[in-house]
């Protein structure tokens, strides 16, 4: 498995990029230090932005850390729905779910997830660990949430989840898979982004390595990995392939991934977004080979 970086582009006025999703017309981007959803054209220039969270603590550059919703996940469902989750790393500020409908006029619906996140926090797999949702993927009606260090995938029916949020049904059944990811300097990587190939039943995930012992504080950026998990036959494999995103110039903290083009079996063009923990965001146009 190998990743080749083709191009790099620094994003202007998008603080702390944390999620990216490709549509037919361009790219939608979020940042965990911003209350906006940004729309970028094919050249990664900002065309518009939509308010998706309270902006009273936004100074034009970054949200006050203690008050931010910490939007870390962005995924496209179908042609016109985006889903965004707060990390849950601090309750209730980060217990947030946002649906964005990409109609002629963008509409935004917001839900608070404290009861759902408290259920996840109570699961045995998170004993002696913290909830820190960092990525979302969607496939065949199922939503996958990725927790970071402890590295866990929560899988559940998306339709039932929406009905639960509207108080129509009980909590959906949640399937749980935990992973031990590779390390750099004895620090384990943590899930940071994910999406699913359209032509093959495989999760593409990103995992970054940051020298910190909790989900709230930043630490030294040590590097990132790209990985793949098979989800054939409605299962989630406990095995995964991976490779390090090598770069001699600097260590990238990759936050999210979206698929640009599935060129052939074993060759996919990806768009990665990175965050340097100083408020700067960068796009990496890349090719994944396996």
Predicted confidence (pLDDT) per residue in 24-75, tens digit: 999 999 999 899 999 999 999 999 999 999 877 787 778 777 778 899 999 9
pLDDT at 55: 76
pLDDT at 212: 78
Query: Residue 265's pLDDT band (boundaries 50, 70, 90)?
Result: very high
How much of the chain exceeds pLDDT 70, in percent? Answer: 97
pLDDT at 272: 98
Mean pLDDT of the chain: 94
Residue 217 has pLDDT above 70, yes or no: no
CA distances from 287 to 148, 260, 266, 272 (A): 24, 9, 10, 10
* Secondary element (H or E) of residue 118: helix 114-122
CA angle (93 as vertex; 18, 272 as ends), nearest 5: 5
pLDDT at 215: 57
pTM across the whole model: 0.95
For 232, the token pair is 């054939």
Dihedrals phi, psi of 95, to nearest 5 degrees: -95, 65
Q: CB 106: neighbour CB atoms within 10 A?
A: 16
Cβ atoms of 134 and 145 closer than 8 Å = no
CA angle (28 as vertex; 167, 257 as ends), nearest 5: 95
Rounded Cα–Cα distance for residues 85 and 109 (Å) = 12
**What is the DSSP track for 19-46?**
EEEE-SS-EEEEETT-SEEEEE-TT--E
* Secondary element (H or E) of residue 267: strand 267-275
Dihedrals phi, psi of 96, to nearest 5 degrees: -130, 140
Rounded Cα–Cα distance for residues 139 and 156 (Å) = 11
CA distances from 230 to 227, 236, 240 (A): 10, 6, 7
Q: What is the pLDDT of residues 227-252, one digit of tens each?
A: 999 999 999 999 999 999 986 678 99
Rounded Cα–Cα distance for residues 39 and 110 (Å) = 19
* Secondary element (H or E) of residue 164: helix 158-165
pLDDT at 56: 76
Q: What is the pLDDT of residues 113-172, one digit of tens each?
A: 999 999 999 999 999 999 999 999 999 999 999 999 899 999 999 999 999 999 999 999
Distance of alpha carbon 166 from the chain centroid: 24
Rounded Cα–Cα distance for residues 258 and 288 (Å) = 12
Q: Which residues contact 165 (CB under 8 A, 6 or more apart)?
A: 97, 111, 113, 116
For 39, the token pair is 């729309």
* Secondary element (H or E) of residue 177: strand 175-179
Helix axes 114-122, 158-165, angle to 10 degrees: 120
197-211 average pLDDT score: 96
pLDDT at 216: 55
Instruction: Label residue 149 exposed, middle or buried (CB < 10 Å: 0-12, 13-18, 19+).
Output: buried
């Amino acid at each position: 498995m190998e990743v080749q970086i083709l191009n790099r582009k620094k994003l202007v006025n998008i603080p702390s990029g944390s999620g990216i999703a490709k549509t037919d017309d361009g790219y939608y981007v979020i940042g965990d230090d911003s209350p906006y959803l940004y729309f970028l054209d094919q050249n990664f220039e900002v065309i518009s932005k939509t308010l998706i969270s309270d902006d009273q603590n936004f100074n034009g550059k970054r949200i006050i850390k203690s008050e931010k919703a910490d939007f870390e996940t962005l995924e496209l469902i179908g042609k016109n729905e985006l889903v965004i989750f707060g990390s849950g790393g601090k309750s209730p500020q980060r217990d947030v779910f946002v649906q964005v409908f990409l109609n002629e006029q963008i509409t935004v619906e917001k839900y608070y997830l404290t009861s759902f996140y408290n259920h996840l926090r109570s699961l045995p797999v998170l004993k002696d660990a913290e909830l820190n949702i960092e990525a979302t993927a969607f496939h065949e009606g199922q939503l996958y949430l990725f927790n970071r260090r402890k590295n866990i995938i929560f899988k559940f029916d998306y339709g039932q989840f929406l009905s639960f949020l509207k108080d129509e049904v009980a909590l959906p059944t949640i399937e749980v898979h935990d992973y031990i990811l590779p390390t750099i300097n004895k620090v384990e990587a943590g899930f940071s982004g994910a999406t699913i190939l359209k032509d093959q039943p495989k999760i593409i995930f990103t995992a970054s390595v940051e020298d910190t012992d909790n989900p709230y504080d930043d630490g030294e950026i040590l590097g990132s990995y790209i990985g793949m998990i098979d989800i054939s036959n409605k299962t989630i494999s406990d095995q995964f392939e991976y490779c390090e995103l090598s770069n001699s110039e600097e260590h990238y903290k990759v936050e999210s991934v979206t698929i640009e083009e599935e060129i052939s079996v074993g060759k996919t063009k990806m768009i990665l977004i990175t965050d340097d923990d100083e408020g700067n965001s960068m796009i990496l146009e890349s090719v994944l080979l396996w």
